[in-house]
Amino acid sequence: MVGIVDVAKKANVSTATVSRVLTKPETVRGTTMEKVLKAIEALNYQPNLLARQLRRLETKTILVVVPDITNPFFSKVLRGIEAVAVAKGYQVLLGDTGNDVEREKGYLNILQQKKADGMVLLTARMDAAAVEEVARSFPVVLACEYIEGSRIPTVSIDNISGARKATEYLIDLGHERIGCITGPLDIVLSRDRLKGFYQAMARKNLIVDPVLVQEGDFSFDSGFNLMMKFFALGQLPTAIFAASDDMAMGVIKAIKSKGLKVPEDISVLGFDNLKFSSIFEPGLTTIAQPAFEIGENAMELLMKLINKEEVKREQIILADQLVVRESVRTI
Amino acid sequence: MVGIVDVAKKANVSTATVSRVLTKPETVRGTTMEKVLKAIEALNYQPNLLARQLRRLETKTILVVVPDITNPFFSKVLRGIEAVAVAKGYQVLLGDTGNDVEREKGYLNILQQKKADGMVLLTARMDAAAVEEVARSFPVVLACEYIEGSRIPTVSIDNISGARKATEYLIDLGHERIGCITGPLDIVLSRDRLKGFYQAMARKNLIVDPVLVQEGDFSFDSGFNLMMKFFALGQLPTAIFAASDDMAMGVIKAIKSKGLKVPEDISVLGFDNLKFSSIFEPGLTTIAQPAFEIGENAMELLMKLINKEEVKREQIILADQLVVRESVRTI
DNA sequence: GACAATTTTGTAATCGATTACAATCCAAGT
DNA sequence: ACTTGGATTGTAATCGATTACAAAATTGTC
């Protein structure tokens, strides 16, 4: 492999000069510049970034930890992150945890081992203390998720108000017996959506039937199964708020499988606004999260941390939006 | 930051010994081992991987170049890659090209700059020569895509026979006037699927109406638009073979929008078998690609190249499968 | 206890760039 | 021609680990 010394030799200059041509061209004379460039060209020299990084103590790489890259919501956030990263000359190291807390923890080491300059976490199921610890010494930002009582910079929507808005929409259309299928309750974000649901019900003085609140795991299957459970229990609500579009679709499938119709018999409202939610029939009424923008903002925030710029707001809350389609109707 | 010298000092040994504790524990005596481990523990030392990598000239990182991470098919392949990579102690650097050939090319440098030990390409739209060039000096494997006349190791399905199988299925059900909506024809894989379509038609002595062969771009929208074009032209086939499930769904949406039904009025057959294709209504009849396995195999192949093991078969063809659901019926 | 064989440890070179500092060059001013 | 100061260039230290080789310590044998 050709190294900087080969180029230096060929161009009859020192390695320092070659290095300067590459990194501070304004400090070398035009004629030597040409000589060096010619040598680089001739040898097809590419600097070894490992060496540069070791010397500069920076990798121009950031780590993104995702619970499941297969989930279109996360992949869209990831794309937002990537877009900004590339624009700023950074590369993205991918850490898919497969929803496994242990693997999630493992990725924390990558920062300490200096393989990345910073990290964006799209999941934070591990113990808060460990994350805090790492965040004290390295740039870390949370996207989507947040950690209660922590000052780690975060980008997300307001899940409580989003869920509240969704539930109020159902109530305003006349629904009173409303079911809620939540995400895994060990995740703050799931608890927030549930909280928003309760808040809306309480504000309108409606009673929540505990049977109608069930814990899912955001997946289509869990939505399907929990709806089937409602059928089995003989406890049918007039509307259901599902904490993810995937689950909402599962719920609708279950309803259809029983020969009932959405929204005629039961209304269903989702959360996320996946691309597929508009293709699905009936079109899902849902709370839209600006996934791409969440990614962009998270990466921009991370850049500021890396560059030690002042960060005014540590918690960025982006706007969510109720998207009305056909899966909900007035009672 | 604490380095190996700090540990060495604290444990009263040389840096060499500390290094050995970390990498060849069997060569150090039990008692010193303990001393060193204690020091490591006390200082919370994590070795700087950059330094190790520079010395060893390996990064334990592989680059995956994807046209669009948001596409669930690719993200599933990526997951397969990641699963094997993690199991073998490798990390994944993500290169999303956003379908941009220039960015695709740019990622080739990462290998030469030694930021990765090898590369899996899920897209190969750039000029073959450039890829070949890189593949001569570095481990590269293609997944899904392949390059004509190249000996770069590849993992994929047989797109020609898959498409042929799909088309023959339609023909066997009595369809004769069959439309084909292809992927972008600058991609080999799209041309192969089209080729398979033609082969099936020819084998059964059916005439292909050129109007019914249209070039899409794999997206839902292009499927929708091209089907609308068929309507506008007043040229309706009895069945359509779409080269991706996304397009198939677009086609079906378009048909429904005209008040017709699938499969009663027109049959539609897709390609890929996305998770969503079974949720969609009608359930998509389609050719299933083993996305996860493609990823796994590609990564395993890459590992062999990296370890300079003998590679018997350079071209791995995995089995595709016709999945029959409800979007196709006999005429 | 002496000596050889074997283990264990240390010294210093090395990976391939960057960069502080020193040395040299060059042009302008007198 | 002779300074002088800024622009260029070179020398060598440096980033933080690994590892070849040498040295020291240990073990076993007679």
| Statement: the CB of B325 is under 7 Å from strand D | no
Q: Look at residue B70 in the predicted model and tell me its pLDDT.
A: 94
Contacts of B91 in chain A (CB under 8 A): 93-95, 110, 115
Q: Which CATH architecture has domain B159-289?
A: 3-Layer(aba) Sandwich (3.40)
Instruction: Write down the mean pLDDT value for chain B.
Output: 95
Beta-carbon contacts below 8 Å between A and B = 106
Superfamily of domain A59-157+291-318: Response regulator (3.40.50.2300)
| Statement: the CB of B27 is under 7 Å from strand C | yes
- Are B94 and A96 inside 8 Å of each other by CB? no
Q: What is the mean pLDDT of residues A257-262?
A: 95
Please check the confidence at residue B120 and state whether its pLDDT lies above 80.
yes
Residue B4 (CA) to nucleotide D24 (C1'), in angstroms, measures 23
Asked if A178 contacts A194 with a C-beta cutoff of 8 angstroms, the reply is: no
- H helix intervals, chain A: 4-11, 15-23, 30-43, 49-56, 72-87, 101-112, 128-137, 159-172, 188-203, 220-233, 245-257, 276-279, 291-306
Residue type at B314 in one-letter notation = E
DSSP state letters, A7-74: HHHHHTS-HHHHHHHHH-GGGS-HHHHHHHHHHHHHHT----HHHHHHHHT--SEEEEEES-TTSHHH
Q: Look at residue B168 in the predicted model and tell me its pLDDT.
A: 97
Q: Look at residue B320 in the predicted model and tell me its pLDDT.
A: 96
- CATH 1.10.260.40 domain range(s) in chain A: 4-47
For A216, B118, B170, B223, B292, the CA distances from A227, given in Å and listed in that order, are 10, 47, 36, 33, 30
Strand order in the sheet with A91-96: A315-318, A154-157, A140-143, A118-121, A61-66, A91-96, B91-96, B61-66, B118-121, B140-143, B154-157, B315-318
Taking the Cβ of residue B61 and every Cβ of chain A, the question of whether any pair is shorter than 8 Å is answered with yes
Cα separation, B295 vs B56, whole angstroms: 27
Asked if B145 contacts B188 with a C-beta cutoff of 8 angstroms, the reply is: yes
Please check the confidence at residue B24 and state whether its pLDDT lies above 80.
yes
* B31 sits in which H/E element: helix B30-43
Instruction: Write down the mean pLDDT value for chain A.
Output: 95
Q: Look at residue A3 in the predicted model and tell me its pLDDT.
A: 93
Which positions 256-315 of B are in contact with A (Cβ < 8 Å)? Answer: 275-276, 279-281
pLDDT tens digits for A168-185? Answer: 999 999 999 999 999 999
Write down the residue that tokens 């078998």 correspond to: B273
- Are B54 and A59 inside 8 Å of each other by CB? no
Q: For an interface test with A, give the residue of B100, B103, B114, B327 to mutate (most A CBs within 10 A).
A: B114
Q: Look at residue A310 in the predicted model and tell me its pLDDT.
A: 79
Cα separation, A259 vs A278, whole angstroms: 22
Q: Look at residue A314 in the predicted model and tell me its pLDDT.
A: 81
- CATH 3.40.50.2300 domain range(s) in chain B: 59-157+291-318, 159-289
A134 pLDDT band, cuts 50/70/90, is very high
| Statement: the CB of B52 is under 7 Å from strand D | yes
Contacts of B76 in chain A (CB under 8 A): 70
Which residue does chain A place closest to B73, by CA atoms? Answer: A70
- Are A110 and B91 inside 8 Å of each other by CB? yes
For A289, A290, A323, the CA distances from A158, given in Å and listed in that order, are 10, 12, 16
As given in the structure block, the two tokens for residue A225 are 């199964």
DSSP state letters, A59-93: -SEEEEEES-TTSHHHHHHHHHHHHHHHHTT-EEE
pLDDT tens digits for A80-103? Answer: 999 999 999 999 999 999 999 999
pLDDT tens digits for A53-72? Answer: 999 999 999 999 999 999 99
Cα separation, B278 vs B255, whole angstroms: 19
As given in the structure block, the two tokens for residue B112 are 């030469």
Nucleic acid strand D: bases within 7 A of protein CB: 7-12, 14-20
Contacts of B119 in chain A (CB under 8 A): none
A188-202, A261-275, A293-307, B307-321: the lowest-pLDDT one: B307-321
Which positions 172-201 of A are in contact with B (Cβ < 8 Å)? Answer: none
Chain Cα centroid distance, residue A298: 9
Terminal Cα distance for chain B, rounded: 73
- Are B82 and A75 inside 8 Å of each other by CB? no
Cβ atoms within 10 Å, residue A198 = 16
Cα separation, A44 vs A47, whole angstroms: 10
- Enter the CATH code of domain B4-47: 1.10.260.40
